[in-house]
């Protein structure tokens, strides 16, 4: 198939899923055309089946906000027409699904039919999408899509709850490339960070309020009272300054390192003992899956799709949002040498169920069904 993938090119989960999916589809022979405003972070190798089309949008003194959606729709029209695409797959509803609708209507006037598949990732529904300023457009563009997928049962349920959706939503979970995300021998790194054999705890996120990174620091503060431990914080975002201030207030700065937007996160995960994800909302939790693939158990909240990934008492534990005491107890239980090896093994076994080679064919099936129904 000749497929156009529209996504955010940045570090966020939806962009990672879109890029990794495109790369995997290209490997099995599909031609994949990425359409976005800059080179996707993980589109970092050459493959004869991969193409990249940059959306250029001009600013003008009249525009306080340059109309990206229009430039994107125009680019989609151009790529569909000249690259003879069979299908557009847009990741993250806002504004990709409505831009795709516009492109589809324009192409229709020229006698071209382009089916659109929309994948819902989370905040496009649970935070931003249901806001009154976007909801009518999100509802319309989901219903106007030819195929709709969501990354968890919980996100599917939320979508039906918050919007008047008339379409079937197919659940296709996030996936992992086990060739890349696996425990690697990085013992020198562990010795450098934990010279006295401290337990190593990791959190990765975009440091938005929804990730509750302050809870990570508070849980770590409690753990540190009981056992020697170090915390690595990977990623960056709007909460970073507040988190640094909290570390100073709690006097834990010496045991916490901020690593920033590290690309090779699997190297850090390779030496970690525990991953903490205390999110307020999390439609799937790709970062937790990446940790599990590197044999790292997960202490998380029970929000959104997290219970569909993290098995309570087996691969980690689930707690109510904000229950720092419970998450501390669970972390200490997992970190006990009598329990840790079993949790690590279980985490890896569970991660294997989300191997990209199992999940990618589910997207191909959606594409085939959508094309067959045209």
x/- site string to ligand GMT, residues 225 to 264, per CB under 6 A? ----------------------------------------
Choosing from 175, 207, 284, 363, the residue that interacts with ligand GMT (CB under 6 A) is 284
Half-sphere exposure of 114 (CA within 13 A, CB side): 35
* C-alpha–C-alpha distance, residues 373 and 279, integer Å: 39
Residue (309 or 334) nearer to ligand GMT, CB: 309
- Going by C-alpha positions, the residue among 326, 213, 221, 330 that lies closest to residue 274 is 330
- To ligand GMT, the closest distance from the beta carbon of 110 in angstroms equals 32
The answer to whether 1 and 86 are in contact (CB under 8 A) is yes
| Contact string 162-181 vs ligand GMT (x = CB under 6 A) | ------------x-------
Q: Does the protein bind ligand GMT through residue 158 (CB under 6 A)?
A: no
The strand ranges marked E within 173-253 are: 199-204, 229-234
Taking the complex as a whole, the smallest distance from the CB of residue 175 to ligand GMT amounts, in Å, to: 10
Name the nearest CA neighbour of 151 among 183, 133, 129, 174.
Answer: 174
Among 45-53, 191-199, 276-284, 320-328, the segment contacting ligand GMT (CB under 6 A): 276-284
Nearer to ligand GMT, 73 or 150 (CB): 150
Among 3, 5, 6, 17, binds ligand GMT (CB under 6 A): 17
Looking at residue 280, the DSSP 8-state letter turns out to be S
Part in contact with ligand GMT (CB under 6 A); list of ranges 37-45, 262-270, 280-288, 337-345: 280-288
Q: How far apart are CA 157 and CA 284, in angstroms?
A: 13
The CB-of-204 to ligand GMT minimum distance in angstroms stands at 10
d(CA 247, CA 11): 25
Binding string, 194-223, against ligand GMT, x = CB under 6 A? Answer: ------------x-x-x-------------
| Closest separation in Å from C-beta 279 to ligand GMT | 6
Could you write out the DSSP letters of every residue in 301-336?
Answer: E--TTGGGTS-BTTTEEEE-TT-HHHHHHHHHHHHS
20 binds ligand GMT (CB under 6 A): no
User: What is the rounded CA–CA span in Å between residue 140 and residue 144?
Assistant: 6
At residue 147, φ and ψ (nearest 5 deg) are -145, 145
> What is the C-alpha to C-alpha distance for residues 139 and 120, in angstroms, rounded to an integer?
12
Chosen residue from 6, 14, 20, 31 binding ligand GMT by CB under 6 A: 14
Q: Which of 98, 123, 204, 330 binds ligand GMT (CB under 6 A)?
A: 123
CB of 127 to ligand GMT, least distance (A): 7
Nearest approach in angstroms of CB 23 to ligand GMT is 15
Contact 231, 257 (CB under 8 A): yes
Give me the least distance between CB of 194 and ligand GMT, in Å please.
28
Q: With binding defined as CB under 6 A, does residue 285 bind ligand GMT?
A: yes
- Would you state the torsion angle of the CA atoms of residues 220, 272, 193, 248, taken in this order, to the nearest 10 degrees? -20
Which of 95, 269, 289 lies closest to 173, judged by CA?
A: 289
Residue holding tokens 């098995």?
311
Q: Give me 369's structure tokens.
A: 């069904």
Q: Does residue number 95 form part of the binding site for ligand GMT (CB under 6 A)? A: no
Taking CB under 6 A as the rule, does residue 92 contact ligand GMT?
A: yes
Question: CA 166 to CA 17: how far, in whole Å?
Answer: 25
Q: Which residues bind ligand GMT (CB under 6 A)?
A: 12-15, 17, 92, 121-123, 151, 174, 206, 208, 210, 281-286
């Amino acid at each position: 198939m000749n497929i156009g993938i529209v996504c955010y090119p940045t570090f966020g989960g939806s962009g990672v899923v879109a890029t990794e999916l495109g790369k995997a589809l290209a490997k099995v022979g599909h031609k994949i055309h990425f359409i976005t405003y800059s080179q996707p972070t993980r589109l970092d190798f050459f493959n004869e089946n991969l193409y990249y089309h940059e959306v250029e949008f001009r600013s003008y003194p009249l525009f306080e906000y340059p109309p990206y959606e229009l430039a994107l729709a125009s680019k989609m029209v151009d790529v569909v027409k000249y690259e003879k695409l069979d299908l557009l797959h847009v990741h993250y509803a806002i504004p990709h699904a409505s831009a795709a609708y516009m492109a589809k209507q324009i192409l229709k006037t020229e006698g071209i039919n382009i089916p659109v598949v929309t994948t819902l990732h989370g905040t496009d529904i649970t935070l931003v999408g249901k806001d009154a300023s976007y909801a009518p457009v999100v509802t319309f563009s989901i219903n106007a899509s030819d195929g709709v997928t969501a990354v968890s049962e919980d996100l599917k349920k939320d979508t039906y709850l918050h919007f008047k959706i008339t379409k079937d939503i197919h659940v296709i979970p996030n996936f992992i490339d086990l060739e890349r995300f696996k425990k690697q021998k990085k013992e020198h790194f562990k010795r450098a960070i934990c010279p006295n054999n401290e337990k190593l705890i990791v959190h990765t996120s975009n440091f938005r309020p929804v990730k509750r990174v302050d809870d990570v620091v508070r849980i770590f503060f409690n753990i540190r009272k009981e056992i020697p431990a170090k915390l690595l914080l990977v990623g960056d975002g709007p909460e970073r300054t507040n988190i640094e201030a909290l570390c100073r207030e709690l006097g834990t700065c010496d045991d916490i390192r901020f690593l920033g937007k590290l690309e090779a996160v699997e190297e850090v995960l390779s030496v970690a003992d525990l991953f903490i994800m205390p999110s307020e909302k999390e439609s799937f939790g790709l970062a937790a899956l990446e940790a599990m693939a590197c044999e790292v158990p997960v202490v998380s909240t029970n929000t959104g799709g997290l219970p569909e990934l993290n098995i309570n008492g087996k691969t980690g534990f689930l707690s109510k949002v904000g229950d720092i005491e419970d998450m501390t107890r669970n972390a200490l239980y997992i970190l006990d040498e009598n329990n840790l090896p079993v949790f690590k093994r279980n985490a890896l076994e569970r991660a294997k169920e989300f191997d990209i080679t199992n999940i990618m064919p589910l997207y191909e099936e959606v594409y085939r069904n959508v094309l067959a129904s045209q």
